[in-house]
């Protein structure tokens, strides 16, 4: 078949049936893990008023300055396809007057106009959780643990958790002043982006990936070294609780995250397996965001994982070669009515079943193979006369004749992998 003349937009992808099946399995595993931790699902709109992202993700963040899909609707409203999930959840919690403490999870499509590359798409998917209304450092740990368990469940063994604390309103001004003083002497060596960040949100300079900039920061003051007593205590309790639960992590004193709303705990999950875009998930505390949205002071902590990156990091876990699908084959057209009846019985019992309308049995077997069916249920004149069917296992090639009245449990038994 030729490719046709229309291509999908840059930075998007198609999910072929096998990919879609694998993706649904990952989403299902996430829903299960989140539910086990007591979380409930929330679904918010795919687009929101632009201002909520400016207010939360941050005026100086790359997401807001360069990556938003913003548009004016026909009535002149400024709207944006959501680049991340947290602002919409915060807005919904306030607008719907939900009562904290809350444990919410979500998944869906998100949009960022970045330069597409391996692991970076313009339409991607996140799986995220938010705990709202809990200040206890043990909650930060519970959230980190949820992510770690999820990756473990998916068989991502090489996932490393990095941890940092970036302080609060109390300790940040003094730290910020010290950092700016340090960087001011080095402006000439910084990239364009870092110079802008220096004015808007100097701490984000530490996040720059450019080697020339990173060299400059080696000696720079780091947030974790400038915490006020209560942030220092929070951070110490997070680490102690991670240790107590046997969760491994690495301290990374430059982990400031790319969005502006964080305070205190920040963390990221990294996988060496997926290349330069090695962050498969990240999150942290955001104790001020509700106030900034005009709500009450509500502490909160959460994270989001990138679904595409997570799937890239999974061990080569090929989807089972065969689908849980039974394919009916009639040796001659005389068996077709019996086959159609059996098809209906299988389906009514919840067994996925299909048949081809080719008349030659060879072609029907070919169709079964092309559909990646797990087995064929063959009806020939002899079988019908004897009240049997032949069940062919398409994985082993084995064929057995069985009474027609036990075909449903036999097909089911064959599906059990
Ligand atoms: P984030 O670090 O911006 O955090 O994104 C979370 C994850 O989404 C990343 O670690 C990455 O795996 C994936 N991701 C981000 N951008 C792309 C892209 N262009 N293509 C593919 N994957 C991508 C947040 O979004 C926060 N809302 C997380 C959070 C929740 N913090 C507190 N609560």
Q: What is the CATH number of the domain that holds 334?
A: 3.40.50.800
pLDDT at position 321 over 80: no
Q: Give tens-digit pLDDT for 28-43.
A: 999 999 999 999 999 9
Kindly state whether residue 199 falls inside one of the protein's structural domains: no
Expressed in angstroms and rounded, the spacing between residue 31 Cα and the centre of ligand 1 is 18
Q: Would you say residue 303 lies in a domain?
A: yes
277 pLDDT tier (thresholds 50, 70, 90): confident
Is the pLDDT assigned to residue 2 strictly greater than 80? Answer: no
Task: Tell me which residue has tokens 């009450």.
Answer: 296
- Residues 276 and 388 both lie in one domain: no
pTM as predicted: 0.90
Using most ligand atoms within 8 A of CB, pick from 69, 132, 162, 282 the residue to mutate for ligand 1: 282
Cα-to-centroid distance, 409 and ligand 1 (Å): 45
**DSSP H/E element including 358:** none
Tokens 């999150």 label which residue?
283
CA gap 376, 373 in Å, rounded: 7
Confidence band, pLDDT 50/70/90 cuts, at residue 198 = confident
Residue nearest to atom 15 of ligand 1 (CA): 306
Q: What percent of the chain has pLDDT over 70?
A: 98
275 and 382 part of one domain: no
The answer to whether the CB of 327 falls within 8 A of the CB of 372 is no
Q: Could you give the CA distance from residue 67 to residue 114 in angstroms, rounded to a whole number?
A: 6
Q: Which residues line ligand 1 (CB under 6 A)?
A: 84-86, 112, 114, 119-121, 124, 126, 128, 130, 258-259, 279-284, 286, 302-306, 308-309
Angstrom CA distances, 296 to 16, 99, 130, stand at 45, 12, 17
**Distance, CA of 404 to CA of 378 (rounded, Å):** 10
Report residue 364 CA to chain centroid gap.
39
Nearest CA to ligand 1 atom 11: 306
Contact by Cβ (8 Å): 286, 298: no
pLDDT at 287 over 60: yes
Q: 14 or 184: whose pLDDT is higher?
A: 14
Cβ pair 117, 277 in contact under 8 A? yes
User: Could you tell me if 25 and 153 lie in one domain?
Assistant: yes
Residues 333 and 394 in one domain: yes
- State the binding site for L-histidine: 84-86, 112, 126, 130, 257, 261-262
Tally of domains within the chain: 2
How far separated are the first and last CA of the chain, in Å rounded?
34
When computed from its CA atoms, the radius of gyration of the chain, rounded to whole angstroms, is 27
Convert the pLDDT of each residue in 102-132 to its tens digit: 999 999 999 999 999 999 999 999 999 999 9
- Among the atoms of ligand 1, which is closest to the Cα of residue 283? 31
Q: Which of 278, 313, 348 is the last residue of a domain?
A: 313
* pLDDT on residue 120: 95
pLDDT at 283: 98
Q: In whole angstroms, what is the distance from residue 183 CA to residue 177 CA? A: 10
Average pLDDT along the chain? 93
Supply the pLDDT for residue 61.
83
CA distance 295 to 286: 14
Give domain status of residue 110, yes or no.
yes
Confidence at 318, pLDDT banded by 50, 70, 90: low
Average pLDDT value for residue range 358-376:
96
* Residue 306 CA, ligand 1 centroid: distance in Å: 6
Report how far ligand 1's centroid is from the alpha carbon of 366 (Å): 44
Do 299 and 335 fall into the same domain?
A: no
In a domain, 215, yes or no: no
327 shares a domain with 309: no
320: confidence class by pLDDT, cuts 50, 70, 90: low
Q: Is the pLDDT of residue 160 over 70?
A: yes
Q: What is the CATH number of the domain that holds 8?
A: 3.30.930.10
Residue entry with tokens 């030729």: 2
Write the residue with the smallest CA distance to atom 22 of ligand 1. 306
CA of 161 to the centre of ligand 1 (A): 15
Residue 240 lies in a domain: no
88, burial (CB in 10 Å: exposed 0-12, middle 13-18, buried 19+): buried
Judge whether 127 lies within some domain. yes
What residue numbers does the annotated binding site cover? Answer: 84-86, 112, 126, 130, 257, 261-262
Give the number of other CB atoms < 10 A from CB of residue 133: 17
Domain assignment present for 190: no
Domain hosting residue 275, numbered range: 4-165+249-313
305 and 396 share a domain? no
The strand pair at 279-285 and 78-81 is best described as: unpaired
CA separation for the pair 338, 320 (Å, rounded): 30
Amino acid 213: pLDDT: 87
Q: Is the pLDDT of residue 381 over 80?
A: yes
Q: Please state the rounded mean pLDDT for residues 219-228.
A: 92
161 lies in the same domain as 26: yes
pLDDT, position 64: 87
Q: Of 313, 335, 362, at which residue does a domain stop?
A: 313
Q: What is the CA(267)–ligand 1 centre distance, in A?
A: 12
Which pLDDT belongs to residue 206?
A: 86
Ligand 1 atom closest to Cα of residue 310: 12
Tell me, what's the pLDDT at 59? 80
Q: Among 117, 123, 126, which is best to mutate for testing ligand 1, by the most ligand atoms less than 8 A from CB?
A: 126
What ligand 1 atom has the least distance to the C-alpha of 114?
19
* Alpha-carbon distances, residue 11 vs 113, 127, 211, 286, 314 (angstroms): 8, 19, 26, 30, 21
Half-sphere exposure of 149 (CA within 13 A, CB side): 17
- Give the pLDDT band (50/70/90) at residue 417: low
Picking from 189-203, 283-297, 328-342, 387-401, which range would have the lowest pLDDT averaged per residue? Answer: 189-203
One domain, residues 16 and 135: yes
Cα 326–332–335 angle (5° rounding)?
65
20 with 151, same domain: the answer is yes
Average pLDDT over residues 393-397: 92
- Domain termination site, one of 271, 292, 313: 313
pLDDT score, position 322: 87
Q: Domain check: are 289 and 365 in the same one?
A: no
Q: What is the DSSP secondary-structure string of 75-90?
A: T--EEEE-S-SHHHHH
Ligand 1 atom closest to the CA of 67, numbered from 1: 19
Considering the domain architecture, whether residues 329 and 282 belong to the same structural domain is answered as: no
Band (11; pLDDT cuts 50, 70, 90): very high
Which pLDDT belongs to residue 127?
Answer: 98
Q: Is residue 268 part of a domain?
A: yes
Q: Whose CA is nearest to atom 23 of ligand 1?
A: 306
């Amino acid at each position: 078949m030729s490719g046709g003349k229309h291509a999908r937009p840059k930075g998007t992808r198609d999910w072929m049936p096998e990919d879609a099946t694998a993706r649904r399995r990952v989403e299902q595993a996430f829903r299960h893990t989140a539910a086990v931790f007591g979380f409930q699902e929330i679904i918010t709109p795919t687009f929101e008023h632009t201002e909520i992202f400016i207010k939360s993700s941050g005026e100086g963040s790359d997401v807001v300055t360069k990556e938003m899909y913003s548009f004016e609707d026909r009535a002149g409203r400024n709207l944006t396809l959501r680049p991340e999930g947290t602002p919409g959840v915060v807005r919904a919690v306030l607008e719907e007057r939900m009562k904290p403490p809350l444990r919410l999870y979500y998944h869906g499509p998100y949009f960022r106009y970045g330069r597409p590359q391996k692991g970076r798409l313009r339409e991607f998917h996140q799986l995220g959780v938010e705990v709202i209304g809990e200040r206890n450092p043990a909650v930060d740990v519970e959230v980190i643990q949820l992510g770690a368990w999820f990756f473990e469940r998916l068989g991502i063994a090489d996932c490393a958790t990095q941890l940092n604390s970036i302080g609060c309103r109390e300790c940040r001004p003094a730290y910020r002043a010290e950092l700016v003083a340090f960087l001011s002497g080095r402006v000439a060596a910084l990239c364009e982006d870092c110079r802008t960040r220096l004015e808007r949100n100097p701490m984000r300079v530490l996040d720059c990936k450019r080697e020339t900039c990173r060299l400059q920061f080696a000696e720079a003051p780091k947030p974790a070294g400038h915490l006020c007593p209560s942030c220092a205590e929070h951070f110490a309790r997070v680490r102690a609780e991670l240790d107590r639960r046997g969760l491994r992590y690495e301290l990374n004193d430059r982990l400031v995250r790319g969005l502006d709303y964080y305070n205190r705990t920040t963390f990221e999950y990294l996988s060496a397996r997926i290349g330069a875009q090695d962050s498969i998930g990240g999150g942290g505390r955001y104790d001020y965001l509700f106030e900034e949205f005009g709500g009450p002071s509500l502490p909160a902590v959460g994270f989001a994982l990138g679904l595409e990156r997570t799937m890239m990091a999974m061990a080569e876990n090929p989807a089972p070669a065969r689908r849980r699908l039974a394919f009916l084959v009639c040796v001659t057209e005389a068996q077709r009515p019996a086959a159609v009846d059996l098809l209906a019985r299988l389906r009514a019992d919840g067994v996925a079943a299909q048949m081809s309308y080719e008349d030659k049995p060879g072609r029907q077997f070919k169709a079964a193979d092309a559909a990646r069916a797990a087995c064929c249920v063959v009806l020939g004149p002899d079988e019908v006369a004897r009240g049997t069917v032949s069940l062919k296992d398409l994985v082993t090639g084995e064929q057995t004749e069985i009474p027609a009245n036990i075909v449903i449990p036999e097909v089911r038994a064959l599906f059990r992998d």
